[in-house]
Amino acid sequence: MKNKLTLLFLFFSIFSFSQVPHCGFDFTSYLVVLPHENGNSAVINDLQITVVDENGNEVINTENTLSWINKDKALSFDRNYLISKPTEKERWFFPYANESYFLSVTNTFPADNYSIKISDPKGVYKTQTIQLQPFNMYILCSSENEKQSRQFGPRTNRPIEVVMEK
Decide if 62 contacts 74 (C-beta within 8 A). Answer: no
Strand order in the sheet with 128-131: 48-52, 115-119, 128-131
Within-domain flag for 27:
no
Within-domain flag for 6:
no
Domain holding 119, by residue range, is 37-164
Within-domain flag for 93:
yes
Decide if 102 contacts 30 (C-beta within 8 A). Answer: yes
Within-domain flag for 18:
no
- Total domains, the chain: 1
Which regions of the chain does DSSP assign to beta strands (E)?
Answer: 28-37, 48-52, 78-79, 101-106, 115-119, 128-131, 137-139, 160-164
Residue-wise pLDDT for 61-116, tens only, equals 999 999 988 999 999 999 988 888 888 888 888 777 788 999 989 888 899 999 99
Within-domain flag for 29:
no
The predicted model scores a pTM of: 0.74
pLDDT at position 30 is 87
Within-domain flag for 95:
yes
Within-domain flag for 156:
yes
